[in-house]
Amino acid sequence: MKPANNIIVIFGASGDLTRRKLIPALYHLYKNNQLPDKFAVLGASRSELDDVSFRDAMRQNLIDKENAGGTTLDDFCTRLYYQSLNTADRDDYGKLVPRLDALHAEYQTGGNTLYYLSTPPSLYGIIPACLAAHGLNSENHGWKRLIVEKPFGYDAQTARELDATIHHDFLEHQIYRIDHYLGKETVQNLLVLRFSNGLFEPLWNRNYIDYVEITAAETIGVENRGGYYDGSGAVRDMFQNHLLQILAMVAMEPPALIDADSIRDEAAKILHSLHPLDAEYLKNNLVLAQYGKGEINGRAVPGYRQEKGVAPDSSTETYMALRLQIDNWRWSGVPFYIRTGKYLPLRFTEVVIHFKTTPHPVFNQRAPENKLILRIQPDEGIAMRFGLKKPGAGFESEEVAMDFRYADLAENNVLTAYERLLLDAMKGDATLFARTDAVHACWKYVQPILDYKANRGAIASYEPGSWGPVEADKMIARSGRVWRQPRKA
């Protein structure tokens, strides 16, 4: 079912995210006839643009990056509008009122409005209050929803403050905190794989699982985002949100119902069950490191401290690895190893479930390990690894694979994360958005890492194109294990 007619107001419309993700996502949805019959986009930001120049810029980008063209592109672009606005000035928001009134009337939206905050985070608390000052938060005439980009807060306290500020003018049901990893098809597939198959779920616990690895490896560095990244680092940028959300999907109990609250209740329970961290534990189980100068895929790259926008003596981490535990019935005693880093040799995000080996070595040798590999990106799919007999005499076993790849499905036209999430927000489905309790549980869990970061000494370094610092190998080796390093295809 298509969403109801609505207007999307994008704050930060002249920014990078709008150009790279939001407008292309809306264009694809439009092309696939998934948007409401009547909808328009109103871009708003400080840049002095008008409807025509905004349309031209978006059109050119769609032509260059998405190979767009024809009447679909023309029709789509007629629905783009722009309002220049001093986003920090409450009075200036008065300009939005007649603009939105006119668009709502023209597109017969009944007042439905989706506000997208794609601005620097310093404005996340300001924009909602400015909208409210002009009555633009009122649901008396159509729904009003607010999508808030990450980072939601900077630490536990600022996240709480931000929540309180936004809640002053918007109710929780109006707030959609985006975590684009939850929009990835394969992250959602974790739930379907687990809860619609009799095969896996009986094994999905401490009795059969030895340990779990979650990896998000990137081949890019901080690119042109040094200014933002230096105040953030891998812990805030990837772990506090994306990786903990994936962890919740892997570890949660079956929800009572498939709806936003039931699923988010289970996710929150896992986040509340994470074994609390302290400095003593982190000394042995956390590795933070920063890339130095080097070469990746034949390209010379500067060290992190030489990147634009980064302090020359920065100790911000571009790599992190953590061994964590979940204190509940299902997972007691099962370690989860989580790592993420920039400038690693391969781009991939995966979850690896390592099953325990057989209780007794019948064939007088150590049997290959059984693994279930959930590949979130790229080359989305699921692979099983287990032992079978080596052909020939004797009973020697070797590891074999059974692979499923999404690309092999006849119907594999999956929505990208932003397409899925924009559509869900228009439909009022908050299942794949982080609820306030989950966000706070994540920050609460992560806070000791932030404190530890602030007080520890020099940061370890790793070479671009390597699998990260040796300290991370040593950390996992302490329990006799090694990280899975997929090979280049």
Query: Total number of residues binding ligand BG6 (CB under 6 A)?
Result: 2
Beta-strand (E) ranges in 362-482? 371-377, 381-389, 397-405, 460-462
Question: Rounded CA gap, 368 and 386, in Å?
Answer: 6
Beta strands 348-355; 371-377: pairing state:
antiparallel
Q: Between 19 and 95, name the residue whose CB sits nearer to ligand BG6.
A: 19
β-strand partners of 40: 7
Question: Rounded CA gap, 197 and 209, in Å?
Answer: 17
Q: What is the DSSP letter of 219?
A: S
Binding residues: 12-19, 46, 150, 180, 184, 218, 237, 342
Binding residues for NADP(+): 12-19, 46, 150
Q: Between 121 and 387, name the residue whose CB sits nearer to ligand BG6.
A: 121
Please check whether residue 400 is in contact with residue 386, taking contact to mean a CB–CB distance below 8 angstroms.
Answer: yes
Binding residues for substrate: 180, 184, 218, 237, 342
| Cβ at position 116, least distance to ligand BG6 in Å | 16
Q: Taking Cα atoms as reference points, which of 288, 238, 246, 290 lies closest to residue 270?
A: 246
| Cβ at position 347, least distance to ligand BG6 in Å | 8
Q: Between 102 and 311, name the residue whose CB sits nearer to ligand BG6.
A: 311
Question: Rounded CA gap, 444 and 304, in Å?
Answer: 28
| Cβ at position 351, least distance to ligand BG6 in Å | 14
134 is annotated as an active-site residue: no
* Three-state secondary-structure class, residue 310: coil
Question: Rounded CA gap, 382 and 192, in Å?
Answer: 12
Question: Rounded CA gap, 41 and 115, in Å?
Answer: 10
Q: Between 218 and 451, name the residue whose CB sits nearer to ligand BG6.
A: 218
| Cβ at position 151, least distance to ligand BG6 in Å | 8
Q: Which of residues 200-229 bind ligand BG6 (CB under 6 A)?
A: 218
**Cis peptide preceding 378, ω within 30 of 0:** yes
Which residue has its beta carbon closest to ligand BG6? 237
- Site membership for ligand BG6, residue 230 (CB under 6 A): no
Given 28, 104, 242, 440, the catalytic residue = 242
**CA distance readout (Å), 88 to 15, 85, 99:** 16, 9, 18
Q: What is the DSSP letter of 53?
A: H
| Cβ at position 218, least distance to ligand BG6 in Å | 5
Would you tell me the crossing angle of helices 260-273 and 244-251 to the nearest 10 degrees? 100
The only residue of 210, 213, 237, 266 in contact with ligand BG6, by rule CB under 6 A: 237
Structure tokens that stand for 228 in this block: 């933002």
| Cβ at position 197, least distance to ligand BG6 in Å | 26
Q: Between 150 and 385, name the residue whose CB sits nearer to ligand BG6.
A: 150
Instruction: Give me the sign of the Cα torsion angle 67, 69, 72, 78.
Output: positive
Question: Rounded CA gap, 79 and 240, in Å?
Answer: 36
User: Alpha helices of 300-435 — where are they, by DSSP H?
Assistant: 417-427
**CA distance readout (Å), 205 to 22, 202, 252, 302:** 39, 8, 11, 44
Instruction: List contacts with ligand BG6 (CB under 6 A).
Output: 218, 237
Active site residues: 242
